[in-house]
Amino acid sequence: MNPSVLFPLLIAVIDLVWLLVLIGIPLLTPSFLFGVYVPQEDRKLPQVARIRRIFILLSVAVALIGIIFAFAFYAWSSGSANLALLGLLIPQIVGMIVVWNVCRRQALSLKSVQNWKAPDVSKRTAYIGSDRESVKAGASTWLYGLHLAIIALTVILVAINWERIPNPIPVHFDMAGLPDRYAEKTFSGVYMLTMIQLLFTAICLGTHLMIRRMRQNLNPSTPQASLNKQIQLRSINTWMLFSISLIVTVMLSWIQIRSTSSFTGTLPIGFAAAFLLLLLIPIVAFLVVLRRRGLQEEGINRYHSEDQFWRGGVFYFNPQDPYLFTEKRAGLGWTFNFARPLGWLLMAAIILLPLTAIVTTMMLQS
């Protein structure tokens, strides 16, 4: 594909995800205003709507600034995709942090004026019945065997075609799908993506098991209805996690096969962009189902509404909570309880292990 066509396409894909996040945060978290709990009776206040509008407008402005920088870097560097992506992402990430903090300060000011307080958590009761119904709900743990089957099939196909794998092998591609960096054909170099797949699958499977086995805190006034909603919430989360992890696994297998045993000189980057667009399907489906079933207000964590346990409105830090995982306040999925040392260790592993694998492989190849 022509780089002049592919570059705007890549920018469009990245900022489409950005726009989805901007829309998703207000839709998913009506009870929270940038990490500040908003009581039910005040969620339609004009001041609340005004802060949300300011967030959207400022975030769109930040996105446009990133796009301008990206195209400027792309032209200035004579078509360097790496510099262009840096020009896109750095202003947007820094700008998003600034916008979040500006809007959060306004939300905290409004909280002080309105004297907002979270509901009494002592009125939530822990569910101590059988967890069988919860465990059966959602994606089955055995479905992750499909990931392992795909990875095993990829390993076998690459092994069968080992003699056809070029030496050196391409390890990096430009915007047109042409290889611009090579490495010697070694076992670690050829199967680097396999190691990343296995690590990614292990992380997703571990998160899946955590979600299914988390304790349930119910509303004592309607315990059965509250239990049913929490089971639905777990179910939707497990299916979204499974779908995203499966798409990523297939994408990495496709890249590995096309760049080694089936390499024909170029990597069809357009197909890679299509895989990224596929990731939007489970995310959009999650938002729609959550909205239709009225699950935005349902929280498994009894401390979900307590502002003092959320640093910056985002990072959960609660020494009173013995559990490691809880659902996020903003966005999709789950987060760690950073008051638990294991939370820091797992976060470090998620960030450092893939980087260590890549750096080690590059050192072995060199």
For the cut 80, the answer to whether the pLDDT of residue 320 exceeds it is: no
Q: What is the pLDDT of residue 128?
A: 47
Q: Among 67, 92, 117, give the residue marking a domain's end.
A: 117
CB 336 within 8 A of CB 316: yes
Q: What is the pLDDT of residue 151?
A: 94
In total, how many domains does the chain have?
A: 2
Please check whether residues 84 and 127 belong to one and the same domain.
Answer: no
Based on the domain organization, do 62 and 188 belong to the same domain?
A: no
When pLDDT is cut at 50, 70 and 90, the band that residue 90 belongs to is confident
207 and 60 within one domain: no
Whether the predicted pLDDT of 360 surpasses 70:
no
* pLDDT on residue 174: 62
pTM: 0.67
Q: Is 123 exposed, middle or buried (0-12, 13-18, 19+ CB in 10 A)?
A: exposed
Q: Residues 208, 355: one domain?
A: yes
3-state secondary structure of 15: helix
Looking at the structure, tell me whether residues 253 and 129 fall in a common domain: yes
Q: Are 162 and 309 in a shared domain?
A: yes
Choosing from 117, 141, 173, the residue where a domain stops is: 117
CA distances from 187 to 167, 182, 195 (A): 12, 15, 11
pLDDT at 249: 92
Q: What percent of the chain has pLDDT over 90?
A: 9
Do 285 and 350 reside in the same domain of the chain? yes
Q: What is the rounded average pLDDT for all residues in the chain?
A: 75
Provide the 3-class DSSP secondary structure of residue 325: strand
Q: What is the domain range of residue 3?
A: 1-117
Q: Determine the pLDDT at residue 266.
A: 62
Higher pLDDT, 94 or 270: 94
Residues 91 and 139 in one domain: no
- Residues pairing with 169 in the sheet: 183
Percent of the chain residues past pLDDT 70, beyond the cut: 67
- What average pLDDT does this structure show over 32-49? 85
Q: Is the pLDDT of residue 146 over 90?
A: yes
155 and 215 share a domain? Answer: yes
Cα torsion angle, 34, 40, 41, 43, sign = positive
- 138 and 19 within one domain: no
Q: Last residue of some domain: 60, 93, 117?
A: 117
pLDDT score of 240: 87
In sequence order, the 6+-apart residues with CB closer than 8 A to the CB of 355 are none
Query: Do residues 92 and 164 share a domain?
Result: no
Q: Which of 37-41, 159-163, 350-354 has the lowest mean pLDDT?
A: 350-354
Residues 132 and 108 in one domain: no
The residue-averaged pLDDT of 135-153 equals: 86
Q: Which of 174, 164, 158 is nearest to 266 (CA)?
A: 174
Q: Which residues contact 111 (CB under 8 A, 6 or more apart)?
A: 36, 37, 307
For residue 348, the model assigns a pLDDT of: 77
